[in-house]
Chain A
Amino acid sequence: MTKIIEFFNQSSIKDDWKTQYIRYRLGRLKHQFWLWNRKRKDNLLVDEYDYFILKNCQPGITAFFASAGYYLKDIWPEIISIDLHPVVKTFYPDALICNHRTQLPELLPDGVDNFAVVNNRGDIWTEIENVTEHCRYYTRVMRPGCRFFYSFRDTQIVNFNRLTTDMESYFLNWAKSLNTIGLDLVWYNIDFARKIPDKNGYYDMLENPDTVNGNLKFFFVYHGDAWKVI
């Protein structure tokens, strides 16, 4: 008999590899770069925003958290790639897996100088206040002066009123508020679609820009001095 459901938790999700991989894959678009690059020996592809992050990294230890950093590690082996999903380990054995952000200090006992979280699906689908808590966990592995690169999408932050809220101010104020946990905003790009009809009166029906990296991008420094973003 067919079961009627409204929410994911009303039925059991299969635990076989294929199901887990597809679930991971659907929500992690950047994985596409690893799929592309594994067939190439040279001329490896790098997303321009990831390259922008890397250009702004300082010397020292660099970690990508839940952001398909393994595709970058194939190009720059010194990058540490950490993921929340055990399935990543099955296709990329060198990835570090943590069950929860609280485990980060165990995985990175020496701390890091650059920490990137690029549109991590595991960080969103929650209230903005909880995103602050995620960032607080990340600071536990940041050395003083660590550069923190954080991006996500407006459409996946929940429980605020999109009809009564100026969302640019909302997210910018949130970013500035992270100074209470030691993260000072250095650079940002808050990119909402500019929906203007064409000459025939038609609008583009696209999502907000950059569904891969997120349309809300922020660079922070942890207990340190701002740098000139390049």
Chain B
Amino acid sequence: MDINHPRASINILPTRPLYKWANIFNRLQRNFFSEDLKLRREKQIEDFIRLNGFSRVAVIKDTDILQSIESLNCHPSQAEIIVITDQKFSRYPCPALIDQIKHMMTKCSRLYLCLNKHYINIDNSFHDLKLDSNFNIAIGQWLRKNLEGCMVLDLSLDFVDYGQSFTWAVPDRHFYIAHD
């Protein structure tokens, strides 16, 4: 082929982000299906809130989920629990992510944290060879190791995510973190 002979004049565009559906991604994905669906992970969070009687909840999210607990929403400093599903939270470098969790825990002593495992250690700056070879187990170990004085309960499923599990609506790793 001859790049010097395009059929029209061209304009080389610097590569830019083209993804633009983050705010409505859950709805878009669920519309693929004919049945009336609920994501198991979303229900897990909502039921955790309801069954444990939380009435003031700070929800930090980036897409259209968890509508059923919207009425409980309040400022983090007034909340009984903070729920984080925002994908961006998983994109902190590992040490900064730990700092952010600690910061949240100064506002509220209970945290329901959802992390997208595909973003963990996004900048490849952190390595701990003492962690388990199973990545799912390693994430929990890493959190416990760095959150002294906190109880970290892993509420996730142990599975390999082959892109079939709605992780960009609700992240896959779920942790309940509370002060000891």
Contact = CB atoms under 8 A, between A and B. Distances in A.
A48 interface: yes
Contact of B32 (A6, A13, A60): A13
Contact of A195 (B7, B125, B164): B125
A180 interface: no
Interface stretch (A81-89, A92-100, A209-217): A209-217
Grouping DSSP codes into helix (H, G, I), strand (E, B) and loop, the B interface class, with mixed when no group exceeds half, is loop
B128 A55 contact: no
A2 B18 contact: no
Interface residues of A, number: 76
A192 interface: yes
Contacts, number: 198
Interface string B43-60: 100000000000000000
A161 B128 CA distance: 10
Interface string A169-201: 000000000000000000000001111010000
A165 B6 CA distance: 44
Interface residues of B, number: 66
Contacts of A5: 37-40
Interface string A4-41: 11111101111000010011001001101100000011
Interface of B: 1-3, 5-19, 21, 28, 31-41, 43, 88, 91-94, 96, 117-129, 131, 133-135, 138-139, 142, 157, 160-166
Interface of A: 1-9, 11-14, 19, 22-23, 26, 29-30, 32-33, 40-49, 51, 54-55, 57, 59-62, 74-79, 114, 124-126, 155-156, 158-168, 192-195, 197, 203, 205-208, 210-213
